[in-house]
C-alpha cells in the first residue's frame, strides 16, 4: 500500500482507511441480505404461493444479474460515474425491497371451528378488517405515532390453522398451499366463494387468482429490483481490489466480514421473529399458529442497506471499471497456496482451442464443453443446482417438521462459520487431494447430505449438515474455478472463468431454485431431495467412469503455457462471489480481454510432454 494512505486508529490499532470502509460496507451489505433473503421462500409460502411460484421468484435473481451484467458494464464504461451508479444501485435495492414487502394478497376469509362442534366440520367466516401499512405501518407503531390499532372483530367460533388438522400420514412435506374443498370446509361452495387456498402454518384464506396476481407483480418487482441493484457489489469489489492491489490476499480477508454479517443478521432475525408480537392487527387472529410477521425482516434489510449506502459515500473511485468484468478480477490472488505439482498436473490437461472467426464465447464453449472438461463443468453445475434447491427450500422443508426461525438463524451461523473456515483451508484440501477428487468429494457430500435431509423428522438434526454444506460449496468452488483457469487455453482464460461463474452461480443456483420448485410443487420436498441425490450419483459415476476408463482420450493439450499465464487462481470470496485480480491495476486486467492473442489457433504437439508424464499417469488426482 502507498505510504501516503490514511490510517484510522481504533482501540489502539491502526487500520487503513479504505480497507476499513470496505469492511464496514461488506458487513452492512451482506447483513442486509442475510436479514431477509434466506427467509423469502417461507415468506412467499405464507402468502399462499406454491413451490414453483416461490422458486421462480428466487431463481430469477441470479439469472437477471448475469443477463444485466453486459449492459451495466457498457454503461459504466461510457459514463465513468462509478460512485453515482453505486448509490443508484443501493437506493434501488432499498426501494424495490420495501415495495416487495408491501405487496400482499387480501385475506377475505378465515377457517373456523364451532366451539361446541361434535365433529371436525370447519366453516368459512368473513375475515376481520385488515389494517394496511406494511413496513411504514411497522415504523409508525414502533415510534408510537398514527392511529391506535383497532382490534379485529371477535368471532364466536375458534379460528384455526387448517394445516394443523391434517393427519400425519397424509402430510406430504413441501406441498403448499392447501386447496379449500367441501370435504374440509362444510359451507364452502366454489360457485359462491371462488377457488380458495390456505397456506400451511397460517390461519389466512386467500383467493387463488389474487395470489397469482401478486406473484406476477412480485416477479416484475424482483426483476426490476435485481436489474437496477446488480452492479452494486461489483463496483464495491472493484474499489476494494484497487485499495489492496499491493496485497491482493487481503481482499478475501476483508470480504469475510460479509459472511459474518450475513450469518449474524439471520441469527438475530430468527430470535426477533420468534419473540416479537406476531402482527399489529391480524385478520384471522389466533395464538395457535406459527405464522410470522416478516415485515420486521423487510425493515431491517432496508436499514442495513441504508447503512451500507452511507458507508459507500466514503469510497474513493479512481478510473471506474466495468462491472461485468470485475467478476473475473481476482483469479490470481492465491496462486502461491496451490502446490506447484498440482498446478502442473492441471496444466498438462490444458485444452487446445481451434481457430474460430466467431466470438470468444463460441471458442470458449467449443474448447471447454467436450471430453473430461465438459463432464467436470456438468459436475460443477450439479453442485450449484443443489445449492439453489437448498437456498430456496431447506427452510420451506424444515418448517413442515416444526422448524422455527431460531433454528434457521442457528443453521445460518453454522453454515457461514464453516464457510469462513473453508476459506482458510480450501487450498490445503486441494493440494492434498487434487482438483478432481475435490469434485468427487463434493458430489458424494451432496448425495448423502440431500438424502439425510429428506429423511429427517427432527429439524435440529440439520445443523451438522449445514456445516458440511459450508465446507463443500466453498471448497468445490475454489477448486473448480482454479482448475478451469488452469486448463483453459490462455487466450480464453477470462471467458472460461465467466462461463464457470455462469454455470455455477447463474444456471446452477438459478435453475436449481426454479426447477426444484416445479418438482416440489408436484411431489414435495422429500422426494425432490432424493431425486437430486440420484442425479448427483449419476453425474459422479459419469465423471469417475470417463476419467478412470478413458484417461481423457481425445483431449488435446497446449504447449504454449507460460509461467506468467497462471499468476493466480480463482478464489471464492465469502458469499461465493468469484473475483479476478491481476498483478497490476484493475484497468489493465479489464482491458486484457480485448487484446488479440497471437497463439489463438491450433497448437501442435508438446515437445516437453515427457517431463509431465508422471502427472498424466494419475488423471484422477
Element (H, E) at 298: helix 295-312
Instruction: Characterize 583-599 residue by residue with b for buried, 16 or more Cβ atoms within 10 angstroms of its Cβ, and e for exposed.
Output: eeebbebbebeeeeeee
- Which pLDDT score, from 0 to 100, does residue 384 have? 96
Grid coordinates given for 24: 464496514
User: Which residue bears the cell 435440529?
Assistant: 460
The residue among 590 and 263 whose pLDDT is bigger is 263
Does the structure show a pLDDT above 70 at 478? yes
Instruction: Characterize 425-436 residue by residue with b for buried, 16 or more Cβ atoms within 10 angstroms of its Cβ, and e for exposed.
Output: ebbebbeebbbb
Does the structure show a pLDDT above 70 at 158? yes
- Which pLDDT score, from 0 to 100, does residue 150 have? 47
What percent of the chain is helix, strand and coil (3-state, nearest 5)? 65, 5, 30
Closest CA relative to residue 329, chosen from 257, 425, 245: 245
pLDDT above 70 covers what percent of the chain?
73
3-state secondary structure 415-428: HHHHHHHHHHHHHH
pTM above 0.85, yes or no: no
584: three-class secondary structure by DSSP: coil
Least confident of 53-57, 262-266, 338-342, 394-398: 338-342
Does the structure show a pLDDT above 70 at 357? no
Average pLDDT over residues 66-70: 90
Does the structure show a pLDDT above 60 at 577? no
The residue among 236 and 161 whose pLDDT is bigger is 236
Pick the CATH number of 331-569 from 3.30.1360.10, 3.40.50.300, 1.20.1250.20, 3.30.460.10: 1.20.1250.20
Determine the Cα–Cα distance for residues 293 and 278; give it in Å rounded to an integer. Answer: 5
Average pLDDT over residues 570-578: 41
pLDDT tens for residues 315-344?
888 654 455 555 454 545 554 556 565 655
Average pLDDT over residues 265-272: 94
Please count the CA atoms within 13 angstroms of the CA of 152 that sit on its side-chain side: 21
- Which pLDDT score, from 0 to 100, does residue 307 have? 97
Average pLDDT over residues 13-18: 75
Average pLDDT over residues 106-134: 73
The residue among 213 and 156 whose pLDDT is bigger is 213
- Return phi, psi of residue 316, to 5°: -115, 110
Average pLDDT over residues 12-31: 86
The residue among 550 and 85 whose pLDDT is bigger is 85
Average pLDDT over residues 266-293: 82
Please count the CA atoms within 13 angstroms of the CA of 354 that sit on its side-chain side: 9
Residues 506, 507, 508: CA angle, nearest 5 degrees: 95
Helical packing angle, 525-545 and 509-523, nearest 10°: 130
The residue ranges of every structural domain in the chain are 109-210, 331-569
Adjacent-strand bridge partners of 9: 14
Does the structure show a pLDDT above 50 at 590? no
Average pLDDT over residues 473-478: 92
Distances from the Cα of 470 to the Cαs of 295, 390, 444, in angstroms? 28, 12, 15
Which range of 116-130, 168-182, 449-463 scores highest in mean pLDDT? It is 449-463
Grid coordinates given for 29: 451489505
Mean pLDDT of the chain: 79
Does the structure show a pLDDT above 90 at 605? no
Grid coordinates given for 102: 408491501
User: Which residue bears the cell 442497506?
Assistant: 305
Residues 313, 319, 321: CA angle, nearest 5 degrees: 85
Determine the Cα–Cα distance for residues 93 and 339; give it in Å rounded to an integer. Answer: 42
pLDDT tens for residues 483-530?
888 888 888 888 888 899 999 999 999 999 999 999 999 999 999 999
- Which pLDDT score, from 0 to 100, does residue 387 have? 96
Q: Are 583 and 332 in contact (CB under 8 A)?
A: yes
511: three-class secondary structure by DSSP: helix
Grid coordinates given for 487: 486448463
- Return phi, psi of residue 159, to 5°: -75, 135
Average pLDDT over residues 151-180: 76
DSSP codes of every residue in 14-38: EEEHHHHHHHHHHHHHHHHHHTTGG
Average pLDDT over residues 276-300: 81
Does the structure show a pLDDT above 60 at 265? yes
Average pLDDT over residues 54-67: 95
Average pLDDT over residues 179-187: 89
pLDDT tens for residues 579-589?
333 333 333 33
Rounded-to-10 torsion of CA 537, 41, 475, 496: 90
Amino acid at each position: 500500500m502507498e505510504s501516503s494512505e490514511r490510517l484510522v486508529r481504533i482501540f489502539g490499532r491502526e487500520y487503513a482507511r479504505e480497507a476499513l470502509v470496505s469492511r464496514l460496507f461488506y458487513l452492512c451489505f451482506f447483513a442486509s441480505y442475510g436479514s431477509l433473503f434466506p427467509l423469502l421462500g417461507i415468506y412467499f409460502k405464507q402468502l399462499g404461493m406454491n413451490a414453483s411460484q416461490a422458486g421462480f421468484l428466487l431463481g430469477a435473481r441470479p439469472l437477471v444479474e448475469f443477463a444485466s451484467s453486459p449492459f451495466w458494464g457498457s454503461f459504466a464504461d461510457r459514463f465513468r460515474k462509478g460512485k453515482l451508479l453505486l448509490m443508484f444501485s443501493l437506493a434501488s435495492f432499498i426501494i424495490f425491497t420495501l415495495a416487495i414487502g408491501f405487496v400482499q394478497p387480501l385475506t377475505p376469509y378465515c377457517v373456523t371451528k364451532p366451539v361446541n362442534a361434535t365433529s371436525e366440520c370447519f366453516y368459512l367466516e368473513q375475515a376481520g378488517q385488515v389494517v394496511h401499512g406494511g413496513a411504514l405501518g411497522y415504523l409508525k407503531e414502533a415510534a408510537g405515532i398514527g392511529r391506535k390499532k383497532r382490534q379485529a372483530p371477535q368471532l364466536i367460533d375458534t379460528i384455526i390453522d387448517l394445516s394443523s388438522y391434517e393427519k400425519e400420514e397424509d402430510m406430504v412435506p413441501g406441498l403448499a398451499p392447501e386447496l379449500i374443498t367441501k370435504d374440509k370446509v362444510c359451507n364452502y361452495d366454489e360457485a359462491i366463494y371462488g377457488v380458495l387456498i390456505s397456506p400451511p402454518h397460517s390461519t389466512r384464506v386467500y383467493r387463488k387468482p389474487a395470489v397469482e396476481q401478486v406473484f406476477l407483480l412480485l416477479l416484475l418487482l424482483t426483476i426490476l429490483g435485481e436489474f437496477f441493484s446488480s452492479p452494486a457489489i461489483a463496483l464495491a469489489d472493484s474499489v476494494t481490489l484497487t485499495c489492496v492491489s499491493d496485497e491482493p490476499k487481503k481482499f478475501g480477508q476483508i470480504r469475510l466480514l460479509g459472511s459474518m454479517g450475513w450469518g449474524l443478521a439471520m441469527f438475530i432475525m430468527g430470535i426477533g421473529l420468534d419473540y416479537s408480537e406476531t402482527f399489529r392487527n391480524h385478520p384471522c387472529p389466533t395464538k395457535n399458529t406459527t405464522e410470522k410477521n416478516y415485515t420486521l425482516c423487510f425493515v431491517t434489510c432496508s436499514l442495513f442497506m441504508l447503512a451500507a449506502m452511507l458507508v459507500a459515500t466514503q469510497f474513493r473511485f479512481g478510473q471506474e471499471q466495468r462491472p461485468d468484468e470485475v467478476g473475473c478480477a481476482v483469479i490470481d490472488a492465491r496462486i502461491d497456496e496451490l502446490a506447484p505439482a498440482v498446478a502442473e498436473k492441471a496444466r498438462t490437461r490444458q485444452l487446445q482451442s481451434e481457430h474460430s472467426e466467431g466470438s470468444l464465447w463460441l471458442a470458449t464453449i467449443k474448447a471447454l464443453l467436450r471430453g473430461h472438461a465438459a463432464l467436470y463443468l456438468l459436475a460443477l453445475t450439479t453442485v450449484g443446482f443443489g445449492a439453489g434447491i437448498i437456498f430456496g427450500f431447506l427452510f420451506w422443508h424444515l418448517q413442515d417438521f416444526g422448524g422455527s426461525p431460531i433454528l434457521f438463524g442457528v443453521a445460518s451461523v453454522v453454515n457461514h462459520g464453516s464457510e469462513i473456515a473453508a476459506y482458510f483451508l480450501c487450498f490445503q484440501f486441494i493440494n492434498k487431494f487434487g482438483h478432481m477428487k475435490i469434485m468427487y468429494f463434493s458430489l458424494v457430500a451432496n448425495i448423502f447430505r440431500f438424502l439425510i435431509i429428506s429423511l429427517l423428522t427432527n429439524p435440529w438434526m440439520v445443523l451438522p449438515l449445514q456445516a458440511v454444506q459450508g465446507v463443500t460449496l466453498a471448497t468445490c468452488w475454489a477448486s473448480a474455478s482454479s482448475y478451469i483457469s488452469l486448463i483453459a487455453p490462455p487466450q480464453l482464460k477470462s471467458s472460461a472463468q465467466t462461463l464457470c461463474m455462469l454455470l455455477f452461480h447463474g444456471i446452477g443456483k438459478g435453475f436449481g431454485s426454479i426447477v426444484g420448485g416445479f418438482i416440489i410443487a408436484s411431489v414435495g420436498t422429500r422426494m425432490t431431495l432424493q431425486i437430486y441425490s440420484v442425479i448427483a450419483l449419476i453425474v459422479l459415476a459419469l465423471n469417475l467412469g470417463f476419467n478412470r476408463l478413458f484417461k481423457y482420450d481425445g483431449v488435446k493439450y497446449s504447449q504454449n503455457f507460460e509461467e506468467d499465464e497462471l499468476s493466480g487462481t480463482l478464489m471464492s470470496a465469502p458469499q461465493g462471489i468469484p473475483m479476478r485480480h491481476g498483478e497490476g491495476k484493475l484497468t489493465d486486467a479489464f482491458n486484457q480481454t480485448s487484446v488479440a492473442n497471437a497463439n489463438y489457433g491450433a497448437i501442435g504437439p508438446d515437445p516437453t510432454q515427457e517431463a509431465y508424464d508422471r502427472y498424466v499417469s494419475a488423471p484422477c488426482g
